Chains A and B, each alone.
Chain A
Amino acid sequence: MERFGSKLVRFYIPTALYLIFLLFPFYWMANTVFKSDKELYNLKLNPFVIHSPTLENVVHLFTQTIFLKWMWNTFFVAILATLISLAASLLAAYAIQRLQFKTSGPTGVAIFLGYLVPQTILFIPLAHIIFKMRLWDSLWSLVLTYPTFLIPFCTWLLMGYFKSIPKEMEECAMIDGTSRINIFRKIILPLCLPGILSSFIFCFTLSWNEFLYALAFISTTTSKTVPIGLVTELVRGDVYHWGPLMAGALCASVPVALVYSFFVEHYVAGMTGALKE
């Protein structure tokens, strides 16, 4: 009994509090989605309870806006940007970590410095390039610009991961007659799967939530991503359509939350670069 008491204080109560803290935004979004405007603006009612549930906000989101198209756009951009970044980062990190050419150290640092340049500075010259490439207002502008901040981080994350793989494994494979590319494919990639997954989640969520570039490079309604679409189409002047806005936010955050909760263990392992033998 005493043990349960101490576990209650040290584990269950803090966990419960943390859970409330984390889930409250989701609750608040859901709470708002299923209320009518009338109920929402009635300050006399208890705001934590839904009195007369309604689907009108959801219906509004899916019929009055092209939310599904935005979702698709976001998914399209996020997945492509992620795949491009992962491919580039894997090769870069492996080369820097294992090929030991003269400038491998400086190259690593240079890539990291790229990560330190804030997006707010970078989007102006990038806009110029995008315009020159005639990609203005196209989803490809986002697919090509997101890697500018995804690649540096992933490269560093994966470098740490590659470092934890004993060099002898590769040397042994080399003596066995395996080519560099096969070593990479058959030994390195399977071993750093947790690292790759972490990078994937990181890239995917960052691309999914990205706001600045999407706002700057996209103007046509049909090409917008969810974060931009919601803010530009559901906030009219000073009128906030809270119901549909929250419905959109909720729908958009669910995929990210799912991805996280499925892979969270790998994510933590990847972040700490732990390769357990």
Chain B
Amino acid sequence: MAEVRLEDISKHFNEVIAVKDFNLDIKDREFVVLVGPSGCGKTTTLRMIAGLETITGGNIYIGKRLINRLPAKDRNIAMVFQNYALYPHMTVYQNMAFGLEQRKTPKEEIKERVREAAEILGIGDLMDRRPKQLSGGQRQRVAVGRAIVRKPEVFLFDEPLSNLDAKLRVQTRVELKKLHERLATTIVYVTHDQVEAMTMGDRIVVMKDGLIQQVGSPLELYNAPTNIFVAGFIGSPAMNFFEAELVRSGDLVNLQTDSFRLDLPSEKSAVLKGYPEEKVVVGIRPEDLLEAREHVPGKTIQTTVEVIEPIGSEMYLNVSAGECALTASVDRKTQVKPHQDFILEPSLDYLHLFDIRNEKVLS
């Protein structure tokens, strides 16, 4: 049983603040993904849990144990590194057995555990090879295998898929998720790839500049981002943002830009009650922009198609409406050509409205 609890964790490298006020309760057997752009402090946080980095402030618990000053080897964790860190002078078997040997596990048990792990990962026939004789995917499996033979309480993954090609990455993603179910242990996983985060995590922690932006399930983050950063970071292609002036008429509010107007439904208008500014940032996901047959002022947007990106399953249209550039994800069978006029109808219920000053969502 291993919950991981991080209380007010902070990390300073001299003057630079890498992580600040990090609070997170990771439940037993939970798959938590830390995601964010490079330099956001996600790897530093992971390394602090691992014991590879000292913490400047706060407390870290694994289970009920306070582990702030516990050396890495006593934390009962295993880590898979981005570059796998396999020992090039050892065979796959030796690589996997190394950790157990260091802990003076009996020879027979080592053999059994390595065999078991190799079977789970399907690398049984690679045991006598050296890392340089393996493909990227195989190395990755060996690195995972080396972690699971130890049967740790917590697994830490530091961008383990970023060195794989796209197809293999998708495949390994699924395998890792299956592995998590099978092993039933806590996993903390770091990635900069939001798709990876969305598909794998039970819960996702979005970070930026050392601060947690939002913690939630993939769909929570997608449907209800708390600020512009999370809204723009989660989802692909990214959410469209534009600034709009508020035109109030009674309880209803209209959003006015230089080239189009959107009439907000009453629930959305209610959100803006008491909002003191005259402008808001509006966010709408590409998949919430639908094709419309005719232009209805207040409901649809008249645009000109700039670039078409067919990706097969659907089609991304980069369009412009006056100064405002939008991306829409439309049906793959849509008949459209560049420079053609195109009418889009935003699903107004899925519109996100953000405070123009602090970039937080208005709700």
User: 1/0 contact trace for B72-94 toward A, CB 8 Å?
Assistant: 11010111011101111100000
Q: With the chains together, A132 CA to B141 CA distance in Å?
A: 62
CB-CB under 8 A from B146, the residues of chain A are 172
Q: Does B98 contact A (CB under 8 A)?
A: yes
Q: With the chains together, A166 CA to B143 CA distance in Å?
A: 15
Residue of B nearest to A183 (CB): B102
**Is the beta-carbon distance between B78 and A175 smaller than 8 angstroms?**
yes
Given the contacts A175-B79, A176-B150, A277-B132, A166 and B85 also touching, CB distance less than 8 Å: yes
User: 1/0 contact trace for A235-277 toward B, CB 8 Å?
Assistant: 0000000000000000000000000000000000000000111
Q: Does B52 contact A (CB under 8 A)?
A: yes
Neighbour of A175 across the interface among B72, B82, B83, B132, CB < 8 A = B72
**Is the beta-carbon distance between A176 and B85 smaller than 8 angstroms?**
no
User: 1/0 contact trace for A160-176 toward B, CB 8 Å?
Assistant: 00000010110111111
**Is the beta-carbon distance between B79 and A277 smaller than 8 angstroms?**
no
- Residues of B in contact (CB 8 Å), total 26
Q: Does B50 contact A (CB under 8 A)?
A: yes
**Is the beta-carbon distance between B99 and A171 smaller than 8 angstroms?**
no
CB-CB under 8 A from A276, the residues of chain B are 132
Q: How far is the CB of A35 from chain B (nearest CB, A)?
A: 51
Q: Does A13 contact B (CB under 8 A)?
A: no
CB-CB under 8 A from B73, the residues of chain A are 174-178
Q: Does A87 contact B (CB under 8 A)?
A: no
Q: How far is the CB of A256 from chain B (nearest CB, A)?
A: 29
- A residues 205-251 touching B (CB-CB < 8 Å): none
- B residues 235-264 touching A (CB-CB < 8 Å): none
CB-CB under 8 A from A176, the residues of chain B are 73, 98-99, 102-103, 150
**Is the beta-carbon distance between B77 and A175 smaller than 8 angstroms?**
yes
Q: How far is the CB of B123 from chain A (nearest CB, A)?
A: 18
Residue of A nearest to B103 (CB): A177
Q: Does B283 contact A (CB under 8 A)?
A: no
- Residues of A in contact (CB 8 Å), total 18
CB-CB under 8 A from A122, the residues of chain B are none
Q: With the chains together, A122 CA to B72 CA distance in Å?
A: 46
Q: Does A182 contact B (CB under 8 A)?
A: yes
Neighbour of B102 across the interface among A168, A171, A182, A190, CB < 8 A = A182
User: 1/0 contact trace for B40-53 toward A, CB 8 Å?
Assistant: 00000000001110
Q: Does A187 contact B (CB under 8 A)?
A: yes
- A residues 124-180 touching B (CB-CB < 8 Å): 166, 168-169, 171-178
CB-CB under 8 A from A182, the residues of chain B are 102
**Is the beta-carbon distance between B87 and A169 smaller than 8 angstroms?**
yes
**Is the beta-carbon distance between A174 and B87 smaller than 8 angstroms?**
no
CB-CB under 8 A from A173, the residues of chain B are 87, 98, 102
Q: Does A191 contact B (CB under 8 A)?
A: yes
A-B contact pairs, 17 of them (CB 8 A): A166-B83, A166-B85, A168-B83, A169-B85, A171-B50, A173-B98, A175-B50, A175-B51, A175-B72, A175-B79, A176-B99, A177-B73, A177-B102, A182-B102, A191-B88, A275-B88, A277-B88
Closest 3 CB pairs of A and B: A176-B99, A168-B85, A177-B73
